[in-house]
Structure 1
């Protein structure tokens, strides 16, 4: 019975650690980094010149 109690306690502790880590990742991503990085990365597909065909080289 003692070993089952140890495994139950370890399982509970790992659940709490995993959930805390998940909340920490969310906090770091959305609160500390802010929206400036996301806005910059969202604009990357539109950053190229309209007449630039560099992505189509090698076709045809």
Structure 2
């Protein structure tokens, strides 16, 4: 019975840690207004297309 309580407590702790992590990511993304960094990162998949036109 004590082992079940340990797993229940660990599950609760992990839920809180996950929620705090989620809030941190949301805060980092929207509150800090890092849109210029994200705009640059959004173009990264297309950065090599000009150099790959002759391959494939």
TM-score tier (shorter): 0.5 to 0.7
Bigger CA radius of gyration = 1
Q: State the match for 1:10 in structure 2.
A: 10
Cα root mean square deviation, aligned: 2.6
Going from structure 1 to structure 2, the CA distance change for 1:42 and 1:10 (only over 3 Å counts) comes to: closer
CA distance in 2, matches of 1:4, 1:58: 58
Please state how far the C-alpha of 1:35 moved relative to its aligned partner: 2.8
Instruction: Report the TM-score when normalising by structure 2.
Output: 0.61
Instruction: Report the TM-score when normalising by structure 1.
Output: 0.58
Higher RCO (CA < 8 A, seq sep 6+): 2
Please state how far the C-alpha of 1:3 moved relative to its aligned partner: 0.8
Please list every run of 5 or more consecutive structure 1 residues that lacks an aligned counterpart in the other structure. 46-52
